[in-house]
Structure 1
Amino acid sequence: MSRAERRVTVASPVGLHARPAARFVTAASEFDGEVRIARPSGASVPATSMLAVLALGVRCGEEIVITAEGEGAEELLDRLAEIAATP
């Protein structure tokens, strides 16, 4: 089973909140495997949970760590990184 990790700086002016968070969670939910998100030194939460992602309180300019385990993990991380890095 494939496991991958990506560090990304959030570029949206509202951070990972509202619409950017919804896009992120929707994309993560389409993956047939485990996807988690965390602050660099914090505990990870399921990237498929809107409440968990919002509870992280990630702001513009902050770094996140996304991990995925399953078939197509790298491709998913490319997509999630693009969402997080889009202003």
Structure 2
Amino acid sequence: MKSKLNITVSHPAGLHARPASLFVQTANKFNSDIQVQNLTDNSDLANAKSILSILTLGVCQGHEIVITAEGDDAEDALKALEALIEDNFGEE
């Protein structure tokens, strides 16, 4: 199964350092192939399970990203990543 999610990153640091690390840790909990693209900068696809790939996306606060997951737990992966982003990566 293939699923897709468009979401805006509201964390002040975007997907840098700690938020990127949490994003990758969450993605790695799932078997599905998960890719991310920074729609704001029209970036290439990046492997959501690689910290270097995520950091090279240059996602800043207010950027829209699309997360694509393909596999048996794709829906669960997207829900977990969406919750992480919407919760501002557990920060105030």
Q: TM-score, normalised by structure 1?
A: 0.91
Superposition CA RMSD, Å: 1.1
Q: How many residues align?
A: 86
Q: 4+ runs of 1 displaced by more than 3 Å?
A: none
Are 1:20 and 2:5 matched, yes or no?
Answer: no
Deviation of 1:85 (Å) = 2.7
Structure-2 separation of matches of 1:58 and 1:12: 10
* Unaligned ranges ≥5, structure 1: none
Deviation of 1:81 (Å) = 1.4
Q: How does 1:11-50 map to 2 (within 5 A)?
A: 11-40=10-39, 41-50=42-51
Q: Is the 8 A contact 1:11 1:86 kept in 2?
A: no
Identity %: 40
Q: Is the 8 A contact 1:10 1:86 kept in 2?
A: no
Q: TM-score, normalised by structure 2?
A: 0.87
